[in-house]
Amino acid sequence: MAETIIKTEKLCFEYEKNEGEEKTQVLRSLDLTVERGSFVAVLGHNGSGKSTLAKVLNLLVTPTSGKVWLFGKEINEETMTEDELYEIRRRVGMVFQNPDNQLVATIVEEDVAFGPENIGVEPSEIRRRVDEALETVGMTAFARHSPHQLSGGQKQRVAIAGILALRPEIIVFDESTAMLDPMGRREVLDTIRKLNRDNGTTILMITHYMDEAIDADRVIVLDDGRIVLDGTPREVFSHVEEVRAAGLDVPQITELTYRLGLSGTPITAEEGADAIEALITNRQERN
Ligand SMILES: Nc1ncnc2c1ncn2[C@@H]1O[C@H](COP(=O)(O)OP(=O)(O)OP(=O)(O)O)[C@@H](O)[C@H]1O
Ligand SMILES: [Mg+2]
């Protein structure tokens, strides 16, 4: 049996914009279980609650009600010590959208060392972690460079290395490819996939790009603070109308074959090509 690494039960989050005003519900009774080592894509239109969920898991915001377990422990900010809470935050890394806001030092390797230095890791161990993290994200050659000289994708990989140096077990990527060009997106996506496959890191990847979600083991669709779809990418994208109702599109190839009335749910270009080829062959045989 796989180990449950994240669990939420009836998780709610609401806030009051102004004192006395009606409260806005951001997360509505969310039940979510994530297994260690899985790669979960989180989709949802603007304001559906994705970043709020990420912040709850990183203990940046406190749920209004409901329960959260991380690493098998129920989170309770009242009974847990600051050290315990800090340790859980370390084990859940967060990578945000804008790489420029996440880099703090003027030299790449110093930037990666910043996190472990802050938590008092031994200097020799810091060296080891920095080298390893830069290697993992393919940025070893840039260790002595200034982050300003890097492309967006490279900067984002340095930001990821900075998180890796803290040895997290879960990493939440909150639209970490949104500001990158296609090449930067690919670099970062490849890095995310590698972390999951080779290091066994549990990944929650919030994204607006449907074609990024097809790489995940599992896709969750949020709509207005609720989980409305949850399954493998193929299962989720086979519900074309439900995906649309949640304000999203299915991947382009799925859309095309859906419009052509083809059965099955192709989610990759290859599968789409096969389905269309079969359609053409079929027609030729009938003529
Ligand atoms: N602390 C807060 N104060 C005011 N409004 C908030 C706060 N936190 C969240 N919201 C609102 O809650 C809703 C959900 O926000 P959230 O950032 O979780 O959405 P999201 O799915 O990440 O959206 P996006 O795709 O735009 O990043 C939005 O309407 C947002 O404006
Ligand atoms: Mg967001």
Nearest C-alpha to atom 19 of ligand 1 is from which residue? 47
pLDDT at residue 280 above 80? Answer: yes
Q: Which letter does DSSP use for residue 149 in this model? A: G
How far is ligand 2, taken at its centre, from the CA of residue 213, in Å? 16
Ligand 1 binding pocket includes 47 (Cβ within 6 Å): yes
Q: What is the mean pLDDT of residues 4-9?
A: 98
Whether the model pTM is above 0.85: yes
Average pLDDT over residues 2-6: 95
Atom of ligand 1 nearest to the CA of 175: 27
pLDDT above 90 covers what percent of the chain? 81
229, pLDDT greater than 90: yes
Q: Does the structure show a pLDDT above 90 at 106?
A: yes
- Residue 52 has a CB neighbour count (10 Å cut-off) of 22
**Residue 91 CB burial class (10 angstroms; 0-12, 13-18, ≥19):** middle
Average pLDDT for 279-286? 87
pLDDT, position 32: 98
State which amino acid sits at residue 154. Answer: Q
DSSP states along 31-71:
EEEEETT-EEEEEE-TTSSHHHHHHHHTTSS--SEEEEEET
The DSSP code for 227 is: E
Asked if pLDDT for residue 133 goes beyond 90, the answer is yes
Report pLDDT for 1.
Answer: 65
Helix (H, G, I), strand (E, B) or coil at 220: strand
Q: Which amino acid is at 171?
A: I
**CATH 2.60.40.290, applies to 4-250:** no
According to CATH, where is 3.40.50.300 located in the chain? Answer: 4-250
Q: Is the CB of 26 under 6 A from ligand 1?
A: yes
The pLDDT of residue 19 is: 83
